[in-house]
């Protein structure tokens, strides 16, 4: 595995791989790797000849400076995991390398970026679009892999790719990886106290139990209220939002649309740790 820290060297490595006719896979991450990230890497290894994993805590997508400061950083452990996983390139640039000049681009991301995370974290998705577009331009991947825990983010990246004409990049959405007790794997989980970690799986349990509500004819807004109330009833949890939205458009649903999947997206505060999860309500 080659550890690359500069955009110039990455561009050279990518050009070499392209000349050889290799299929390039990109797994963008912010480091602090866990089994969920490694599942993306494993899929990229199966489907591609040359795998690049980026490890970069992107400052432009943090609207909360405290969150940026406390985001876990484990570069030595990350590179060790990637080397064992058979990755070809670990790309670990500095903020100055990625942003030699301020990135002033503003993306017209449309309705998918205006709800849920977009409403709660102004500027967040524009920052995501900035960094992912840079990575796409540098790595020139044939396929890019993202986890469905960040369900809304995938929709935003698809919109960015459309705007920037990355038509030859296949964006691959991969299922959520969970711990044995159901908690969605996240780099932020390491910040949970033992007591918080013990109750955190209740989020998924409540979400999973709500899926039958669609067949029972409970309206989406009512079902969302029931889910939020159930989570809020657990001492130490505070729901920031829970919305049931159309799986494709991400717009809130007043009623179930026949033949169309829905997804419920939740954000829960446990102390100063912000956890996200989602559940699908199949048509």
Which residues are annotated as catalytic? 37
**182 phi/psi in degrees, rounded to 5:** 100, -15
Whole-number Cα distances in Å, 15 to 29, 137, 148: 22, 12, 30
E strand spans, 70-137: 89-91
Q: Which two tokens stand for residue 193?
A: 């106290």
Q: Please report which residue ranges of 122-236 form alpha helices under DSSP H.
A: 124-139, 151-163, 194-199, 202-210, 212-215, 220-232
Residues 203-230: b if buried by 16+ CB within 10 A, e if exposed: bbebbeebeebbeeebebeebbebbbeb
Q: How far apart are CA 7 and CA 97, in angstroms?
A: 7
**53 phi/psi in degrees, rounded to 5:** -115, 125
């Amino acid at each position: 595995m080659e550890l690359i820290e500069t955009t110039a060297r990455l561009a050279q490595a990518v050009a070499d791989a392209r000349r050889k006719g290799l299929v390039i896979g990109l797994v963008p991450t912010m480091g602090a790797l866990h089994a969920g990230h490694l599942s993306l890497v494993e899929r990229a290894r199966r489907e591609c000849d040359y795998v690049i994993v980026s490890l970069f805590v992107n400052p432009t997508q943090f609207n909360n400076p405290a969150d940026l400061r406390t985001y876990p950083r484990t570069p030595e452990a990350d590179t060790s995991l990637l080397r064992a996983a058979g990755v070809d390139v670990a790309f670990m640039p500095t903020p100055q390398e990625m942003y030699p000049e301020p990135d002033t681009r503003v993306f017209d991301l449309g309705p998918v970026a205006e709800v849920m995370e977009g409403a709660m974290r102004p500027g967040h998705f524009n920052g995501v679009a900035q960094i992912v577009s840079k990575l796409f331009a540098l790595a020139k991947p044939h396929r890019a892999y993202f986890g469905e825990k960040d369900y809304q983010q995938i929709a935003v990246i698809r919109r960015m790719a459309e705007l920037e004409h990355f038509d030859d990049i296949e964006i691959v959405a991969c299922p959520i990886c969970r711990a044995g007790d159901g908690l969605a794997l996240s780099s932020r989980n390491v910040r949970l106290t033992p007591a918080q970690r013990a109750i955190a799986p209740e989020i998924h349990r409540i979400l999973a139990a709500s899926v039958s509500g669609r067949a029972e004819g409970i309206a989406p807004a009512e079902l969302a209220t029931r889910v939020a109330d159930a989570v809020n009833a657990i001492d130490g949890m505070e729901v920031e939002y829970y919305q049931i939205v159309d799986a494709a458009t991400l717009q809130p649903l007043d009623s179930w649309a026949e033949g169309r999947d829905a997804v419920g997206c939740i954000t829960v505060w446990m102390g100063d740790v912000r956890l996200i999860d989602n559940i699908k309500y199949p048509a």
